[in-house]
Amino acid sequence: MRRDQAEDECAAPRHDGRRGFLKCAAGIAGVAAAGIGGPAAAAADRPVGGLRDGGLLPDKVPFHGDHQAGIVTPQQLFAGFVGFDVLAQDRDGLISLFQRLTRRSRVLAAGVKPQDEQVASEEPTPDSLSITLGVGASLFDDRFGLSGHKPRHLKAMPAFPDDRLEPARCHGDLSLQVCAQHPDAVVHVLRDLARETEGLLRPRWRADAFLNPSRPSGSPRTFVGFKDGIVNPDTGSAREMDRLLWVTPPCGEPDWALGGSYQVLRLIRFQIEKWDKVPLARQEKIFGRRKASGAPLDGTRESDVPRYREDPHGSKIPLNSHIRLANPRTEKTENSRFLRRSYNYDAGYDSKGQMDLGLVFCGYQQDPERQFATVQRRLRHEPLSEFITPIGGGYFFILPGVRDADDWFGSRLLQKT
């Protein structure tokens, strides 16, 4: 399939339906028909404020800053991802939408509970809440006068060779990521924002997700049993973040986009029944890691660096293993690395009685073509692709941070254009 055909196949719908947001409440308060997953208790035994990715989660994640929270924030236990279509009729309506989202997000991030969750007899629980807002390529059409101000690399996510994308689970004018230490906190926030933005947004797809325990330690595991997110850029290095994550002046992006980042979301279903029949030794060769420890096949600990130069023919770590294709660890491929912040999903059983389990892949980067798409091309037809199927998601641009109490999401885009 040609790339332009793939983009057309999953193109966003026309914006001629102006139904109210709450008429689609099933897409927010519950699992949407085109959505994935529901809160799971699997991660509930992780302590609030526990160590994740080398950082201690505060009870309240700061809302203001040069960059939005929820990107380099240590990963919370639960997340909700929603793709929206904007129903605002004009530019003033879009400004009102962004200002309403900012106002409520600021209040909620400060620890004020949503109206439906307020119970006077109970002490509020710390949720380490973060709310992260992105924009899709479809927002930059003629509706709001933004067509000449789109970020350089923002486009509809193409279908890659191993994808089976479902249009109802792709793209959107906006991307909303809500992360917290409790699953109900995610739902309460989505309900709150639905009330605040009534008539201005329509949910397109939704995915509820969570982290599995690491068992016994180290990185968390996915439902194929292997540890995930072992290797990531150093979020504590400003130099590395400016090279791989944040939009900076040398990137040649519009001025309003400085401080933002590109988000790639991928809804990936596992063919779990098929995978469970694969012998352990073959599973480990497919990944290039030990299932129990997470160590590369030439190492003993998950933190060990694979020694590819000492294994040029792939006798220890196969040349077509997932970790070797995804990150060959060469000088040439260094700039294709990006920050992973993925979660698991469990959507029960499908109509054929098969378990609907998978991964909400979430990646942040400076340029999705240089980074995510380049890695994806290296992974084309990898052995793992026989057992996983990308079915949805999208490319989004995460807006720069809300700088202070007078600022709001997208202010630099909508005030200067």
| pLDDT given at position 375 | 98
DSSP reduced 3-state for 178: strand
Q: What is the pLDDT of residues 96-146, one digit of tens each?
A: 999 999 999 999 999 887 766 666 566 667 899 999 999 999 999 999 999
Q: What is the pLDDT of residues 295-329, one digit of tens each?
A: 999 999 999 999 999 999 999 999 999 999 999 99
Q: What is the pLDDT of residues 255-287, one digit of tens each?
A: 999 999 999 999 999 999 999 999 999 999 999
| pLDDT given at position 113 | 77
Amino acid (one-letter) located at 280: L
Q: How far apart are CA 385 and CA 408, in angstroms?
A: 41
What token pair was written down for 279?
A: 């012998």
163 vs 11, residue with greater confidence: 163
Integer CA distances (angstroms), 317 to 24, 101, 173, 229, 381, in order: 48, 47, 41, 18, 17
6 vs 362, residue with greater confidence: 362
pLDDT at 292 over 50: yes
| pLDDT given at position 55 | 56
Q: What is the pLDDT of residues 225-248, one digit of tens each?
A: 999 999 999 999 999 999 999 999
85 vs 20, residue with greater confidence: 85
Contacts of 190 (CB under 8 A, 6+ apart): 28, 29, 80, 82, 176, 178
| pLDDT given at position 121 | 61
Amino acid (one-letter) located at 322: H
pLDDT at 28 over 50: no
pLDDT at 39 over 70: no
Q: What is the pLDDT of residues 40-70, one digit of tens each?
A: 433 333 333 344 444 579 999 999 999 999 9
